[in-house]
Amino acid sequence: MSYFSDKSADEDSRRNDAFKFLIALREALSMAKRSQQPVPYKRTRDLLYDFSPELHSEISDLITKRNPSDLVKYYTQKADLLSTEKGKIIFPEDLIQNELEAERKLLEYGDDVQLIKRKIYELQTALEHFQPEDISENFILNHDFSLVSRHQFFEKELYSNAKVKDYKLTGNRILRLRLLHPDKAERIIGSDLVYEQFDLKRERVRFIHLQYKTWNSKVLYFSQGNVIDQIEKLNDNICDSGFCINGEGEKHSSSIYRFPYCSAFLRPTSYLTKPDATLVSTGIHIPVCMVRKIKDTSPKIDKKNTKGRSIGNKNFEDLFVDNHLGSRWISFDQLEDFYNEKGINSETGRIRVHAQEVIIQSGEEKNNSR
């Protein structure tokens, strides 16, 4: 039995931890897919089912909406009425698809389209209620290849208690996912998501570590739970290990245009009050160094004091993919030494989602040669 199904633990805590787990997986998938929009929660749960039906069941029991959304109800009702009017069966998914196409066409006529994009996302989510998408349309699970055969680094086991699967991506890339069931043991690194990008041609790798914390009404107090402890662990293990500087020991690069080499971020997430709550999460990322500066002058993190110190969700993903933020490139040996030194391969680590994007033969040389 994992923590998520442990009835002796507080249900609200398990629910919000399950939500953070799902957000971490969703964020990893969105970066790997290079999605224009975040991968919907429904598709994330679909992949989770492919990965582990047991874990999917535990997560779904805690957070899945039990009733259809108002938008789903609206199109169901509209389809019934139109069917009566026209004397033939009208399917709600057809109505949604028609409106989706109309909304997408509007994107061509302007730049200020955030509300249109939001509507498109809502329609896509409603459509999935009627047409569950086959996971193979998002990630092609290929059992005929082995990432291990590509490089000996991937022969090694990092965690004895992790499930591992390799997924084929576009652009001659492979995504290796490891999902770990959280436990109550002492946390070592403090990371909920580790995302690594490997360049096999040059035998180098770069990464980011994210720590997810629940805030209520967009306020997170440093006195809440183990916030300070986890932030200090990220600072000690990532920032103070020198991964936030380049090869010349500088936080800023002199040869390319990019952000500082910040590799550890705090990711606030919304609080779920009930199992049928709408899944919406605040999409900001705050570098750990900025979190520590906020702590010096304030007892809490809020919307006001993170302005100018955080990065929005979509921008964050794009910047990492384009090598504008995250650690510098290091060798595989350096990464392995880091694993061993910090005990990342220990069963007591807090890492929940470990994603390794492996570029086999890149058509993205311009993005990965910096």
Q: What is the mean pLDDT of each run of 10 residues along the chain (370 residues)?
A: 79 87 91 83 81 81 72 91 92 91 89 87 80 50 60 79 81 87 52 92 94 88 89 90 76 75 90 63 86 95 92 88 91 90 64 88 48
Contacts of 1 (CB under 8 A, 6+ apart): none
- pLDDT, position 146: 64
Q: Please check whether residues 255 and 175 belong to one and the same domain.
A: yes
- pLDDT, position 275: 59
Adjacent-strand bridge partners of 312: 284
Orientation of helix 227-237 relative to helix 288-297, angle to 10°: 130
The H or E element spanning position 115 is helix 114-130
How many CA atoms lie within 13 Å of 258's alpha carbon, on the beta-carbon side? 28
- pLDDT, position 143: 45
Q: Please check whether residues 163 and 128 belong to one and the same domain.
A: no
Contacts of 319 (CB under 8 A, 6+ apart): 259, 311, 325
- pLDDT, position 367: 47
- pLDDT, position 210: 94
Q: Please check whether residues 243 and 334 belong to one and the same domain.
A: yes
Does residue 16 sit within a domain?
no
Helix then strand then coil, in percent of the chain rounded to 5, is 45, 15, 40
Domain boundary among 100, 122, 137: 137
Contacts of 200 (CB under 8 A, 6+ apart): 150, 151, 358, 359, 360, 361
pTM: 0.76
DSSP category for residue 348: T
Q: Please check whether residues 204 and 347 belong to one and the same domain.
A: yes
Measured CA to CA, the distance from residue 243 to residue 16 in angstroms comes to 30
Domain that holds residue 253: 139-368
Does residue 7 sit within a domain?
no
Q: Please check whether residues 205 and 66 belong to one and the same domain.
A: no
Measured CA to CA, the distance from residue 370 to residue 365 in angstroms comes to 9
With 0-12 / 13-18 / 19 or more C-beta atoms within 10 angstroms meaning exposed / middle / buried, residue 86 is exposed
CB 43 within 8 Å of CB 133: yes
Closest of 82, 90, 92 to residue 129, by C-alpha: 92
- pLDDT, position 263: 92
- pLDDT, position 232: 92
Q: Please check whether residues 114 and 156 belong to one and the same domain.
A: no
Q: Please check whether residues 196 and 326 belong to one and the same domain.
A: yes
Measured CA to CA, the distance from residue 200 to residue 193 in angstroms comes to 22
Number of structural domains the chain divides into: 2
DSSP category for residue 204: E
